A and B are shown apart, each in its own frame.
Chain A
Amino acid sequence: MSAPAATFRAARRIDWLAMAALVVVALLAVFALMPGVVAPYDPIALDVVNRLKPPSPAHPFGTDEAGRDIFSRVIYGTRYSMGVALAIVAFAAVFGTLYGVVSGMAPRWLDNLMMRIVDMVFGFPALVLALAISAAIGRGLDSVTLALSLMWWPGFARLVRGEVLRLKTEPHVETARALGLGPVTIMWRHIVPFVMSAVNVRATTDIGYALVAVTALSFLGLGATSPTPEWGLLIRDSRPYFGSAWWYLVFPGGIVMLTATACSLLGDALDARKGA
């Protein structure tokens, strides 16, 4: 016996923050897909005459110690930083969802075993794993991707398992069981579709976090190698010039912050829509 207001959906107020976040993400997508169109210079071409120049109309973000255009390097870097973050989250979401669904539907003993494994992975320090992997297969974005993917999925697995356990007692799932539908049908038709909205929210938000993690590992020297214009590496390279060339740190750092914030806002907006 709900109030009539509930049956009449009020016009959704436009969420300007979410719109702004969407614009940022759309721009990043353009940068990643066709950096050549946006960037005025070659990201690795040296121009020693113009080293460490402050921002100007010709070089909006200034130049670095080798005279490379920082604006162009940031644009080209989108592909590396965002690409790696996307790959990590995509793997984590797919694997974690499958793992969580299986665990949630499995008999008690198997569920317990699978969750203990998740706890173990959660407890393993990411940095140690990243160090170990880069020691094994060499320093580079590949090892960063591998290390973070292996670390990232348990979050999804836990989220999905929790949702599955909750959904299993929902009336529509009970009804489906009473109707005589098999467990596989129930899982695919009556449980997984309802888990996906939570997974989408989490994935959107996590892209931002994964990006920060990728840049952090590169900053620590475990990720991309010169002259790849990866954002974390840009920040690492800027360290000696922090006092004299503020733009070198501020612009790459700012773009990382902006992207992570945009992902987080988009995730919130998705979450709000899910509830509506």
Chain B
Amino acid sequence: MLEVENLTVSFSGRDGRAVAVDGISFSVAAGETFVIIGESGSGKSLTGMAIAGLAPEGARVGGAIRFDGQDVVGLPDARMRRVRGRQIGIVYQDPLGALNPVHTVGDQIAEALRVHGLARGREAMARAVSLLERVRIPDPARVARSYPHQISGGMRQRAVIAMAVACNPKLLIADEPTTALDVTIKAQVLDLLRDLKAELSLTTLLITHDMGVVAEVADRILVMYAGTVVEVGPAASLMDRPAHPYTSVLLASAMMAEAPPQTALTVVPGGTPPLGAMPEGCRFHPRCPRATARCRAEVPVLRGVGGGQAACHHPLVETPEDAL
């Protein structure tokens, strides 16, 4: 369904080129929820934007992104817009920024339907209202007539989701869809995404830093660190038995509630290295408790570990070769 091969996103700057996403590959099967998790500086959002054809100005995208077999890298803008609107729906972190403040919510959804020739005139508006109902907005007719600033943050994010699924896209890209929301609203939106997936058999690419969100919705997980893939695999095995030390750190920091109160949490020192100052060898080695001389010199490649793949010289889980 979606195949990403050796994707790179780089910026040219004063001190040469900075590679923010460094040759990542993965594929998403139809109907699954594939999650990219990473912290700031991991390149996760750039990856999502590159797939949507919305890489920021000045970014150079390399490699191949095949959408239903068609490579969309370097597609002319007009063609890409068609693909984006019809086949890829996008949900952003900030719903207010994603909606046009001078048009009503209903008009914006109806407009999306009209542009892609799915409905006309009154019918488009009626469809917009039923889409708002589908995302469980109470009193959808009233919300359709409202401007974005007149409805609450949770409603807005639902409206954005309604717009994203309006044209029955094959792929839904959701970039931190719940990050800006309050806890109780976050729960509502997560449940909605999960239900929509079942109702519309959506393929979802979810991008987040929140392991809790991942735990609820993911079928497969890809963990990014400093522009590279460190681990990828089925959600259950990756969360039960993380192979990469970084994955286990992410899991540990999401398990604050499970730790005995007021005790020190498991942490690794430092933070993600800045672009342009990437360590040699494994990019995680300066923070890694298991690092050896090999990690400092040799870049680890993704290989089969446990139920998935990890890029680590000393994984926490036995590799098939080790087991032999």
Task: Let me know if A9 and B13 touch, CB within 8 A.
Answer: yes
- Which B residues touch A1, using CB under 8 A? 39-40, 176, 179, 209
Q: Does B250 interact with chain A (Cβ within 8 Å)? A: no
- Map CB proximity to B onto A1-31 as digits: 1 under 8 Å, 0 otherwise: 1111101111110000000000000000000
18 extra A-B contacts, CB within 8 A, seeds A4-B20, A5-B46, A10-B11: A1-B176, A1-B179, A3-B40, A3-B45, A3-B56, A4-B46, A4-B275, A5-B56, A7-B274, A7-B275, A8-B13, A8-B274, A8-B275, A8-B276, A10-B14, A11-B12, A11-B13, A12-B14
Complex: how many Å from CA A76 to CA B35? Answer: 71
- Map CB proximity to A onto B3-24 as digits: 1 under 8 Å, 0 otherwise: 0000000011110001010000
Summarize B's interface: helix, strand, loop or mixed.
Answer: loop
Max chain B C-beta neighbours (<10 A), residue from A2, A3, A9, A12: A3
A7-B274, A8-B275 known; A2+B13 contact, CB < 8 A = no
Sorted nearest first, the 5 A-B pairs with minimum C-beta distance are: A8-B275, A1-B40, A11-B14, A4-B20, A8-B18
Least CB distance from A4 to B in Å reads 5
Complex: how many Å from CA A10 to CA B14? Answer: 6
A9-B14, A10-B12, A10-B13 known; A4+B276 contact, CB < 8 A = no
A selection of 12 A-B contacts at a CB cut-off of 8 Å is A3-B46, A4-B40, A4-B41, A4-B43, A4-B227, A4-B275, A5-B46, A5-B58, A8-B18, A8-B276, A9-B14, A10-B13
Task: Let me know if B12 and A5 touch, CB within 8 A.
Answer: no
Complex: how many Å from CA A5 to CA B276? Answer: 11
- Which A residues touch B227, using CB under 8 A? 4
Task: Let me know if B11 and A8 touch, CB within 8 A.
Answer: yes
Q: Does B73 interact with chain A (Cβ within 8 Å)? A: no
Complex: how many Å from CA A12 to CA B176? Answer: 30
Task: Let me know if A5 and B20 touch, CB within 8 A.
Answer: yes
Which bracket fits the contact residues of A?
Answer: 10 to 19
Task: Let me know if B58 and A10 touch, CB within 8 A.
Answer: yes
Complex: how many Å from CA A5 to CA B41? Answer: 8
Residue in B closest to A9 when the chains form the complex, CB atoms: B13
Complex: how many Å from CA A9 to CA B40? Answer: 16
Least CB distance from B7 to A in Å reads 14
* B288-321 contacts to A (CB < 8 Å): none
- Which B residues touch A4, using CB under 8 A? 20, 40-43, 46, 227, 275
B: residues with CB less than 8 A from A are 11-14, 18, 20, 39-43, 45-46, 56, 58-59, 176, 179, 209, 227, 274-276
Task: Let me know if A2 and B40 touch, CB within 8 A.
Answer: yes
- Which A residues touch B41, using CB under 8 A? 4, 7
- Which B residues touch A9, using CB under 8 A? 13-14
Residue in B closest to A2 when the chains form the complex, CB atoms: B40
Least CB distance from B85 to A in Å reads 23
Complex: how many Å from CA A9 to CA B59? Answer: 12
- Which A residues touch B14, using CB under 8 A? 9-12
- Which B residues touch A5, using CB under 8 A? 11, 20, 46, 56, 58-59
Residue in A closest to B275 when the chains form the complex, CB atoms: A8
Least CB distance from A273 to B in Å reads 15
Residue in B closest to A1 when the chains form the complex, CB atoms: B40
Residue in B closest to A3 when the chains form the complex, CB atoms: B45
Max chain B C-beta neighbours (<10 A), residue from A7, A8, A9, A10: A8
- Which A residues touch B40, using CB under 8 A? 1-4
Least CB distance from A148 to B in Å reads 41
Least CB distance from A5 to B in Å reads 6
Complex: how many Å from CA A55 to CA B243? Answer: 83
- Which A residues touch B20, using CB under 8 A? 4-5, 8
- Which B residues touch A10, using CB under 8 A? 11-14, 58
Least CB distance from B126 to A in Å reads 38
Least CB distance from A3 to B in Å reads 6
Residue in A closest to B179 when the chains form the complex, CB atoms: A1
Complex: how many Å from CA A63 to CA B18? Answer: 59
Residue in A closest to B276 when the chains form the complex, CB atoms: A8
Complex: how many Å from CA A2 to CA B40? Answer: 6
Complex: how many Å from CA A10 to CA B176? Answer: 25
- Which A residues touch B46, using CB under 8 A? 3-5
Complex: how many Å from CA A29 to CA B41? Answer: 47
- Which B residues touch A7, using CB under 8 A? 41, 274-275
Complex: how many Å from CA A39 to CA B20? Answer: 56
- Which B residues touch A3, using CB under 8 A? 40, 45-46, 56
Least CB distance from A226 to B in Å reads 54
- Which B residues touch A12, using CB under 8 A? 14
Complex: how many Å from CA A3 to CA B276? Answer: 14
Complex: how many Å from CA A5 to CA B50? Answer: 13
Complex: how many Å from CA A11 to CA B58? Answer: 10
Least CB distance from A41 to B in Å reads 48
- Which A residues touch B18, using CB under 8 A? 8
- Which A residues touch B12, using CB under 8 A? 10-11
Complex: how many Å from CA A9 to CA B13? Answer: 7
Complex: how many Å from CA A125 to CA B110? Answer: 53
Complex: how many Å from CA A5 to CA B275? Answer: 8
Complex: how many Å from CA A10 to CA B16? Answer: 10
